[in-house]
Amino acid sequence: MTPYFGCKHWISIAFVVSLVLMLVSTAAAAGEENGFDLDPARSPIHVNQDAALLQDPSGALDLEDVQSEGYARQFRLHGDVRAPGFSYTDAAVWVRLQPQPDAVVESPWVLEVGYPLLTQVTLYYPQIEGTYARRDLGSGIPFDEREIAHRNIAFNLPMDWDVGRPLFLRVRSDTALVFPLSLWESRDFLRYAQTDYAFLGVYYGIIALMALHAVLIWYHIRRREYLYYAAFIGIAGLFFFSVNGLAFQYLWPGAVHWSQVSVNVFLFAAICLGVLCVRRTLPVYRDAPWLDRAMSVIGFTTAILVAAAMLLPVSIMMRVAIPVVFLTALAVLLTTATMFRKGSRSARYQFLGWCIFGVGVALMAGRSMGWVGDAFVTLYGAQLGLGIKALLFLAGMADQMRIITHEKEQAERRSRRLELQRQKLAYVDTLNTMFAEVSVAETPEEVADKFLDQLSRLVPFDRARFFAEEAGALRAIARRGDLEGEPDAGVPGDVPLEAMAGEKVRIVGAAASGDLLSGYPLGAEVASVMVVPVRHRHTRFGAVVAERDEPATFGETERRLAEGFALQGSVALENSRMFQEVRMQAITDALTGLYNRRYLFKKGDAYFVEGGFLSLLIMDLDDFKGINDALGHVEGDRILRVVAGRCARVLRKGELACRYGGEEFAFLLPGADEQVASKVAERLRRVVCDHPVVLGDSEVHVTASFGVAFRTEGMESFRELFEHADRALRSSKEEGKNQVTSWSSRF
């Protein structure tokens, strides 16, 4: 029986205390305004209990109305040290603050309204000449218009205001209508602000480090729970950052609408991520399917509410948030408690963390509703609860990981060697995949075309060129707009190369005096120009020049977008350049610079499939082994390079020179019949034998034998054509060397 009577006893005490508080509050409200003192020694002066309040349900009253005798008598003294609060209401509230009759202003004062989310707070303060001056602040007004750059709403009170008449405040809010009122001597307010911002800076720095820590853990162990939790901590931190007024001050000071809706957006997003974290970190689906379904419904609903918060009025979404937060808290606590009872070790950490966080949120909500007064625990309890909850989550996950590691330790030890082999194979497979992608990379011209196409979607322009750097100069390799089809051109106007291929994006409008782009030919058609350098590490590719017909249309946003896109585009260009280098190395003979045997057969097979005339010449330098034996292989290599260069210059565009091997060369002549091929072979022979190779002070005479073959009907492959040319070459060798032999004429 004792617990039962104990419960009744406490209920009776709570009822009596509530009744006494109501009587005291009513008596205070019925009292008269005694006014407040302006003694700097008492700063800060919390004037909540000195505030006289008048609700304006229609929001239509103005200062003249509330000063009239009829409305002046309707003001009621708040009489409570707690902040005046009216929950969620569409009404406006007028506040009258009357200094004491003998109050003297000896120094500047600051009136602080300690709730940053109030939509509009209008201050009317009396002036000596008898009128009232007006100032408007709040979350519904751009932050830059504030005279004091502070997260809370703060008004400077001039020293010459008429203290014999009252101050008036008109307060309206789309969120909870609560407004703690404090008067600060200006120097005290500055010291308070420094301490407040220092504490919040340390707190949000710790929150950011916790989120980063969770991301790093996810990066190393690839468990998505940590990534979800990092997102939850980050979004919850942004929610408190917005509630504290810091987001409005530092992140989006001019985005009035977003500063108001972002609170609800971050709130619902944090709820959605929090529910997801609980479902992912605890075996809810296995051990409590009905709870898992309930949590899924909450998560899905809050995800929809995130989008709704961006579209619907803030006041409506605030009213929706109250039951959603309550139901979510109930579901999360029930889920974590159930999992703890079913033996989940990490659930106990989560249950404790959510309890602490819930208490902090309840205290914050109580302050927002005006139910509890301002204190450190009510101001910062929710933020501290979030930090403690994050630590407990990490502790729970660490405990869970320790158990999992212990259970799998033996299996991991046995499979370590196999895993290492698997990782090696996976690494090789990754390299092969990357090589395959690089092997099909496009030319720089094609990459430049795509670069301009994609850039136009981010930064619209009327025309653009992609200038590639070649031998210290820039040449247009891709164009868009009405520039397509124009001949290759260099840099427009008198513009230095440094401006086109520097390190920063440059923008010029109608006037650009003193800038590197001052020589750009602006006129009636070109009014704005943006130059985007494209470089990868230390490799400079060139620049994109985008033009618009309207002046001053490229701004900071376009600059940032272009810089980020250029960074990605430079990687594509670097890949293309590297692919071309690798491709040329794969098909080029390193000694002579001619194509190699592999490329010869690849192109030969391709031409053979296409059909048409096709001839092949094979050249062998006569007695070259004797030259190597007499002069050495180094000089022999020099002779090969000279001969290869001479022969390559004889060929026409489209004809192919290859080094087949050793001192043997092959020449592929698409479109040439046997007669033309024989003439080309004779020209090549004369180029080789009629011009000795100069090696220092001596000359070396070199001769060459040629075999010529022409594609005929019935020939089935390029290899058959090659065999015919090779037999013709052997015939030239047998007949005395230094001559041209055609397959058809000899065989």
SS3 labels along 542-575: EEEEEEECCCCCCCHHHHHHHHHHHHHHHHHHHH
**Among 262, 281, 287, CA closest to 343:** 287
Q: Does residue 492 have a pLDDT over 60?
A: no
What pLDDT score does 10 carry?
Answer: 40
What pLDDT score does 608 carry?
Answer: 86
Between 173 and 414, name the one with better pLDDT: 173
Q: Cis omega before residue 253 (within 30°)?
A: no
Distance CA 239, CA 598 (A): 64
Between 68 and 432, name the one with better pLDDT: 68
- C-alpha pair distances (Å), 391 with each of 153, 178, 210, 396, 403: 33, 32, 8, 9, 19
Q: Taking the mean position of all CA atoms in its chain, how far away is CA 353?
A: 31
Q: Does residue 513 have a pLDDT over 60?
A: no
What pLDDT score does 194 carry?
Answer: 93
- What are the pLDDT digits (tens) for 548-578? 887 767 877 777 777 777 776 677 667 767 7
Q: CATH fold of 589-746, please?
A: Alpha-Beta Plaits (3.30.70)
What pLDDT score does 660 carry?
Answer: 87
| Phi, psi for 395 (deg, rounded to 5) | -65, -45
What pLDDT score does 52 carry?
Answer: 93
What pLDDT score does 703 carry?
Answer: 93
What pLDDT score does 458 carry?
Answer: 72
The arithmetic mean of pLDDT across residues 212-237, rounded, is: 86
Contact between 549 and 570 (Cβ < 8 Å): no
pTM tops 0.85: no
What pLDDT score does 509 carry?
Answer: 61
Between 24 and 545, name the one with better pLDDT: 545
Judged by average pLDDT, the poorest of 151-160, 480-489, 648-657 is 480-489
Q: Does residue 21 have a pLDDT over 70?
A: no
What pLDDT score does 37 carry?
Answer: 80
Q: Does residue 684 have a pLDDT over 80?
A: yes
Q: Which pLDDT band, with edges at 50, 70 and 90, does 431 fall under?
A: very low
Residue in this structure with the two tokens 């590719």, named with its chain if needed: 541
Give the long-range contacts of residues 663-666, CB within 8 A, separation 24 or more: 663/620, 663/621, 663/624, 664/618, 664/619, 664/620, 664/621, 665/594, 665/618, 665/619, 665/620, 666/597, 666/600, 666/616, 666/617, 666/618, 666/619, 666/722, 666/725
Q: Which pLDDT band, with edges at 50, 70 and 90, does 113 fall under?
A: very high
What pLDDT score does 375 carry?
Answer: 64
Q: Is the dihedral of CA 409, 414, 415, 418 positive or negative?
A: positive
Contact between 48 and 186 (Cβ < 8 Å): no
The rounded mean pLDDT for the chain is 80
For the annotated catalytic residues, the residue numbers are 663
Q: Which two tokens stand for residue 195?
A: 């301490």
Q: Which two tokens stand for residue 191?
A: 């010291």
Q: Which pLDDT band, with edges at 50, 70 and 90, does 547 fall under?
A: confident
- What are the pLDDT digits (tens) for 147-163? 899 999 999 998 888 88
Contact between 569 and 528 (Cβ < 8 Å): no
Q: Superfamily for 444-586?
A: GAF domain (3.30.450.40)
**Can 35-254 and 444-586 be said to share one CATH topology?**
no
Between 587 and 672, name the one with better pLDDT: 672
Q: Which pLDDT band, with edges at 50, 70 and 90, does 472 fall under?
A: low
H or E stretch covering 333? helix 314-341
Burial of residue 112 (CB within 10 Å: 0-12, 13-18, 19+) is: buried
Give percent of the chain with pLDDT exceeding 70.
79
| Phi, psi for 390 (deg, rounded to 5) | -60, -45
Q: Does residue 374 have a pLDDT over 80?
A: no
Contact between 607 and 614 (Cβ < 8 Å): yes
- What are the pLDDT digits (tens) for 377-423? 666 677 777 778 777 777 777 766 666 676 666 666 667 667 666 64
Q: Which two tokens stand for residue 105?
A: 């202003």
Give percent of the chain with pLDDT exceeding 90.
25
Distance CA 564, CA 558 (A): 10
According to DSSP, residue 200 is labeled: H
Residues composing the chain: 747
Contact between 137 and 121 (Cβ < 8 Å): yes
The arithmetic mean of pLDDT across residues 674-684, rounded, is: 91
What pLDDT score does 432 carry?
Answer: 44
The rounded radius of gyration (Å) of the Cα atoms in the chain is 42
Residue in this structure with the two tokens 């009213």, named with its chain if needed: 319
**Among 122, 118, 121, CA closest to 133:** 122
Q: Where are the domains of the chain?
A: 1-30, 35-254, 444-586, 589-746
CATH (residue range 35-254): 2.60.40.2380
Q: Does residue 366 have a pLDDT over 90?
A: no
Between 191 and 370, name the one with better pLDDT: 191
The arithmetic mean of pLDDT across residues 30-46, rounded, is: 75
What pLDDT score does 368 carry?
Answer: 65
The arithmetic mean of pLDDT across residues 113-128, rounded, is: 92
Q: Which pLDDT band, with edges at 50, 70 and 90, does 285 fall under?
A: confident
Angle, helices 256-281 vs 224-243, to 10°: value is 150
Between 596 and 561, name the one with better pLDDT: 596
Please list, residue by residue across 283-307, b when 16 or more beta carbons sit within 10 angstroms of its beta carbon and e when fewer do. ebeebbeebbebbeebbebbbebbe
- β-pairing verdict for 167-172 and 120-126: antiparallel
- What are the pLDDT digits (tens) for 175-207? 888 899 999 999 999 999 999 999 989 988 988
What pLDDT score does 705 carry?
Answer: 94
Q: Does residue 111 have a pLDDT over 90?
A: yes
Between 474 and 614, name the one with better pLDDT: 614
Burial of residue 519 (CB within 10 Å: 0-12, 13-18, 19+) is: middle
Q: Which two tokens stand for residue 205?
A: 């720095």
Q: What share of the chain is helix, strand, coil (3-state, %, to 5)?
A: 55, 20, 30
Q: Which pLDDT band, with edges at 50, 70 and 90, does 494 fall under?
A: very low
